[in-house]
Amino acid sequence: MYSFAQRADMRVIDEPLYGHYLRATGAKHPGREDIVAAMDCDGDAVMRDLLEQSARSSATTLFIKHMAHHLVQIDLRFLEHTNNIFLIRDPREMLPSLTVQLPHATLTDTGLQKQWQLLQDLRSNGQQAIVLDSRELLLDPESVLRQLCDRLGLAFENGMLHWTAGPRAEDGIWAKHWYQAVHKSTGFSAYQAKTHFPAALEDLLDECQPWYEQLFALAIRAQQQGD
């Protein structure tokens, strides 16, 4: 989201269905009450309004960041009218971070199974959705973003590689709970593999791995690896 926000032809929206998800599921997330109070929690109305806004604007393209597990109890046909990009991360590296805020996280909280199901549904309707893997992106941000832009029919811009440290106006009110690292960043950090994985998360890792591997097989590859 921060990368695409650097483009003058983009307007970014941060997780507009977070309130809908919390209302629909009753999930206990950090800042839940503030989020629900601040947002329109009717997910269908939210997406209908955003797509209508996008259709009226010829100057900018709407970049909407969703979390896959937020797409519950909602009419998903809006995905037929958007270009869809699935961002994934190896659960061996993702789970230790996720469980800092969600100590009892489940497969559903990772969104991996949901992403695979959504991808299959889109493919059955003739849409070739795009898969990005965070490790590949960090290994060679420029080559991966160039490939992504090419698939989207956009010209790559060097400005997508860097941004100013600190929060953005588009950040959701949940940023204080989740965005500490990105607020310190000024671009894509060099990839560093995690060397320790908590034994307590091994069972969850076993659940996640098959879904991740299926998605990763379709991901854009960093050119420095020769793919």
pLDDT tens digits, 127-145: 999 999 999 999 999 999 9
Query: Could you tell me the domains of the chain?
Result: 4-222 (3.40.50)
- Distance, in Å, from the CA atom of 183 to the CA atom of 116, rounded to the nearest integer, reads 29
Tell me the pLDDT tens digit for each residue of 71-128.
Answer: 999 999 999 999 999 999 999 999 999 999 899 999 999 999 999 999 999 999 999 9
Task: Classify 227 as helix, strand or coil.
Answer: coil
- Provide the CB-side half-sphere exposure for 66 (13 A, CA): 26
Q: How far apart are CA 126 and CA 132, in angstroms?
A: 19
Q: Residue 21: left if φ>0, alpha if ψ -120 to 50, beta else—which one?
A: alpha
- Report the half-sphere exposure of 160 (CA within 13 A, side-chain side): 21
